[in-house]
């Protein structure tokens, strides 16, 4: 009986959970499998979904701006400029927020994001052309490198299309964003791959708890066969099926058992079973570390307060979103200059992030005090605040009522005598 039960459990475990704790060398590990990343990561794991949504949604709400940099002068582009139209409305289907949210989702899941630029006839006015940007699924695209360095072209082929239908796209028509991978020159390092073990453990723990809850929070039962002869394989499968249909599931929780030929024994919960809850917390923190998201923002509220919640939001921007936007706008600037001129710069409006307005007020106050104290020039303060320089702002300013102590003449009383009681 022990051999039969043990073999059955091992066989079912292989069938159901064969890839749960897979390693990069094993068959179950999804090597750059974007579809699997979406299914088991973004859709199948609440912490991965929350982390990616937090980053993508908040990063996509930060407005992008463009200007011409000519020496020290910054000339903002008119709202009707072609590039400004692209930044505010990348294409007819998506606005800027939706487009960049999809872009960041691709990037945060697979390590790669592809945006294809296409020149289309503008609707207003009809006589001009404008560029539009479209998201391309990462698993559709294969970068084809040159013999020495650089990208020759990108091969784009949806999975349901034959190889003969693959499209060749030149680099100047494809904006490629990717997280640097030391083992690959032109493919991104997927954060999902780094967290894959934690994702699978979290999913397994959730499935375990779900199955326990289906049985009214009670563990399973041992059905011990009391017959004289060992059950055949057909009898074993038939009995297992009937037991599952009649007594399995949350709908049958609490039913009385009427059985013939079996002894039913309950299984108690072991301390090991209770460790799954702690395992979920651990994997949540591992997932938060992978995407640089404070776990208090993922639902880890054991020690959450209003103060550390606000700190966590600032950390999300300072350590995650702003560095990513610095890099993305730099890559976008380099790619867009071939179309709109080498003096074009694409940046983002950091000052318009609402959650950082309190911090912004503190920065302004600090710079005002520095100017008033003669530590900074007005233009130095304006540069730190992201403002343009002004004429006459390169001099230090001091208060007219202040002067150096050494410049003052101090008179000492001539009749002050010596001794402890002198002058009394």
pLDDT at 9 over 60: no
Calculate the average pLDDT of the chain: 76
Q: Poorest-confidence range of 83-87, 166-170, 271-275, 368-372?
A: 271-275
pLDDT band at 330 (very low <50, low <70, confident <90, very high): very high
pLDDT at 356 over 80: no
Higher pLDDT, 3 or 36: 36
Which H helix or E strand runs over 379? helix 378-384
d(CA 351, CA 359): 10
pLDDT band at 270 (very low <50, low <70, confident <90, very high): low
Cα-Cα end-to-end distance for the chain:
111
pLDDT of 25: 38
pLDDT of 383: 82
pLDDT of 109: 92
d(CA 56, CA 109): 11
d(CA 92, CA 335): 21
pLDDT band at 106 (very low <50, low <70, confident <90, very high): very high
pLDDT at 357 over 70: no
pLDDT of 70: 82
Higher pLDDT, 250 or 104: 104
pTM over 0.85: no
Q: Are 17 and 204 in contact (CB under 8 A)?
A: yes
Higher pLDDT, 56 or 405: 56
Task: Give the residue-averaged pLDDT of 113-139.
Answer: 74
pLDDT band at 412 (very low <50, low <70, confident <90, very high): low
Work out the percent of the chain whose per-residue pLDDT is above 70: 69
Q: Residues for the chain: how many in total?
A: 424
Task: Give the residue-averaged pLDDT of 302-306.
Answer: 68
Cα separations in angstroms, 392 against 237, 239, 368, 377: 90, 92, 16, 10
pLDDT of 365: 83
pLDDT at 23 over 50: no
Q: Poorest-confidence range of 46-50, 109-113, 277-281?
A: 277-281
pLDDT of 302: 73
Q: Are 239 and 233 in contact (CB under 8 A)?
A: no
pLDDT of 127: 40
pLDDT of 19: 45
pLDDT band at 334 (very low <50, low <70, confident <90, very high): very high
Q: Is the peptide bond before 58 cis (omega within 30 degrees of 0)?
A: no
Q: Poorest-confidence range of 5-9, 271-275, 387-391?
A: 5-9
d(CA 76, CA 167): 37
Q: Poorest-confidence range of 1-10, 62-71, 253-262, 326-335?
A: 1-10
Q: Let me know the angle formed at the C-alpha of 22 by 16 and 23, rounded to the nearest 5 degrees.
A: 175
Domain ranges of the chain: 353-400
């Amino acid at each position: 009986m022990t051999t039969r039960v043990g073999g059955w459990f091992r066989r079912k475990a292989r069938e159901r959970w064969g890839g749960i704790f897979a390693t990069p060398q094993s068959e179950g590990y999804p090597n750059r499998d974007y579809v699997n990343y979406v299914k088991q990561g973004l859709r199948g794991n609440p912490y991965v979904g929350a982390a990616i949504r937090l980053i993508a949604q908040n990063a996509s709400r930060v407005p992008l701006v463009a200007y011409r940099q000519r020496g020290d002068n910054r000339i903002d582009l008119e709202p009707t400029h072609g590039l400004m139209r692209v930044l505010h409305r990348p294409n007819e289907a998506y606005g800027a927020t939706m487009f960049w949210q999809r872009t960041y989702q691709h990037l945060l899941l697979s390590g790669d994001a592809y945006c294809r630029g296409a020149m289309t006839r503008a609707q207003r006015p009809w006589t001009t052309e404008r560029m539009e940007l479209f998201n391309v699924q990462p698993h559709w695209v294969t970068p084809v490198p040159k013999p020495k360095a650089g990208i020759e072209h990108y091969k784009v082929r949806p999975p349901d299309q034959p190889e003969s239908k693959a499209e060749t796209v030149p680099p100047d028509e494809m904006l490629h964003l990717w997280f640097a991978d030391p083992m690959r020159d032109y493919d991104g390092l997927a954060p999902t791959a780094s967290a894959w073990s934690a994702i699978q453990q979290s999913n397994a723990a959730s499935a375990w708890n779900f199955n326990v809850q289906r049985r009214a929070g009670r563990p399973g039962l041992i059905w011990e066969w009391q017959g004289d002869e060992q059950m055949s394989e057909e009898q074993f499968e038939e009995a297992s099926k009937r037991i599952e249909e009649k007594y399995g599931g949350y709908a049958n929780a609490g039913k009385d058992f009427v059985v013939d030929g079996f002894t039913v024994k309950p299984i108690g919960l072991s301390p090991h079973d209770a460790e799954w809850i702690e395992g979920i917390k651990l994997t949540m923190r591992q997932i938060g570390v992978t995407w640089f998201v404070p776990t208090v923002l993922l639902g880890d509220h054991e020690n959450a307060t209003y103060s550390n919640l606000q700190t966590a939001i600032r950390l999300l921007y300072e350590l995650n979103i702003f560095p990513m936007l610095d890099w993305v706008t730099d890559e976008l600037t380099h790619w867009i200059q071939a179309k709109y001129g080498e003096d074009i710069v694409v940046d983002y409006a950091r000052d318009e992030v609402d959650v950082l307005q309190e911090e912004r007020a503190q920065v302004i106050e600090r710079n005002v005090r520095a100017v008033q104290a003669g530590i900074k020039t007005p233009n130095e303060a304006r540069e730190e605040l992201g403002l343009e320089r002004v004429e006459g702002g390169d001099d230090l300013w001091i208060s007219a009522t202040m002067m150096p102590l050494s410049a003052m003449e101090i008179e000492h009383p001539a009749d002050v005598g010596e001794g402890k009681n002198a002058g009394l």
